[in-house]
Every structure is written in structure tokens, then in C-alpha cells.
Amino acid sequence: MNSLATSPHTRQMSAHLPFSRLQASADDLYPRLFDAILDRRIDPASRFTEDSLKQMFGVSRADVRRVLTQLSHEQVIVLRANHRPRVAAPDAEQTRQTLHARRLTEATLARLACQNASAEGLKRLRTLVERERLAVAQERRAAAIRLSGEFHLQLAQMAGNAPLAHFLGSLVPLTSLAIARCDGSTPGCCAWQEHLAIVEAVASGDMSMAERLMNQHLDHLEQTLLGTALEHRVAG
């Protein structure tokens, strides 16, 4: 058996996604609030409070607090005692380290996804890619960025390794925030096409191709965010 293969027990483990782990109205508030951050309607210079967010989104203060706590765990929101919440502002070095960690993690997850792919999992991935494509076509920048992140987390869930998926969940929202801070049109406007290519490689069980496409995809993202030269890492 391939050394990357997971046990039946591991395959059944649920890798909770940051974009869907909240309940009830808080579950609905997470993407709305995150989109407002990604769309810069709430930015690092914004002076907001739990009460102002409660009024803005028409939800309870408890829901606002739960979502802010979740976003703080993902390093998107900074919470400090006796201070107003604020949006994080990742610098170039933090972004570089985050992308490096993602590359190491997602190369393995791409290969595991090939081994554990299911018809239902592939359907969910293709649905996310289509939603991302529509968001780009409709120029809904924040939604496109968020859905792009959801794609990577859904792929990680299908890989069947909960610790790796959890670790990736701490990296993707921070990357989304870095993308949103870029000026101009949505960075990686062709990301949905790259995502679709990854899905097809996973569906065919081609681990080398899936890993290669994932590395190239992250190379493109790094070039966009940091202006570094592309270094395509070809898997064996």
C-alpha cells in the first residue's frame, strides 16, 4: 500500500472547514462578515465594535462574538482585551511563510485526495469551482476569493487526514486576506480554471499530476502576492 494511504478509520474522520463550522445564524454570518472584510468594507483602519456589526448585519451580539472569535483563530481578526477588534494586516514575510507552509501541506493533500476521491466529494468540488467561476464572471471579488479558499479546504476534507486539513484551515483564511489586500482586479482571476484542472487530475487518480498542478497553482499565487519568480516544482 502507498505510504500516503489512510486507514478506513481516518477516511471517515470529518475535517471541519472554517467556512462551515459555525451553527445557525452565526453560520450565515461568517461568509457575510468575511466577504465584507475581503471586499474592504471593513479594513484594518475601520473602527468597529460588536454592537456596530450587530446593527450592520442584523444579528445577535452573541453571533457576532462567535464569528469574531472564529476569525481571530484564523488570524483574520485581532482581538485584544480592552481594545476594539481590528482586521489583521499580514506583511510580505508572513504571507511568504504562509504560502510555504501551504505548499508543503497541499502537495500531500493533493496526493491523498487522489486516493480517497469519491463521487460525492468530486461533485462538491466541481460545484465550488462553478460558484467561483460565476463569482468571477459577475465581478463579485470578495465571494470569488472566499470560494477559492473553500475549494482548497474541501479538497483537504476529501483527502481524509483531519490534522492536515485542520492545519490548512489555519492558513487559507490568512491567504484570502492577503489576496484581498492586493490592488486591482481579483488576483488569480483564472484560479477557477486551475482548480478545475486539479479536480480532473484527482478524479483520474493521477497523484503526480495533481501535486504538480497544485504546486503550479500556489506558485502563481505567490507570484501575484509577492512578485516572486515562478518555480514550478515537478513531482516525480
Of 42 and 7, the one with more pLDDT: 42
Tell me how far apart the alpha carbons of residues 168 and 151 are, in angstroms, rounded to a whole number: 12
> Between these two residues, 235 and 70, which has the higher pLDDT value?
70
Write down the pLDDT at residue 116: 96
Q: How many domains does the chain have?
A: 2
Average pLDDT, integer, range 25-37: 85
Look at residues 70, 87, 104 and tell me which one is the last residue of a structural domain: 87
Domain contains 3: no
* pLDDT band (50, 70, 90) for residue 9: very low
Domain boundary among 48, 70, 87: 87
pLDDT 10s digits, 179-195: 998 865 444 456 899 99
- Indicate if 100 and 175 belong to the same structural domain: yes
Range of the domain at 116: 90-226
CA pair distance 86, 68, nearest whole angstrom = 10
Nearest residue to 68 via CA among 95, 89, 46, 50: 50
Please identify, among 61, 87, 113, the residue that sits at the C-terminal boundary of a domain: 87
Contacts (Cβ under 8 Å, ≥6 apart) of 148 = 132, 176, 179, 188, 191, 192, 195
Q: Do 154 and 97 share a structural domain?
A: yes
Residue 47 has pLDDT above 60, yes or no: yes
Residue-averaged pLDDT of the chain:
84
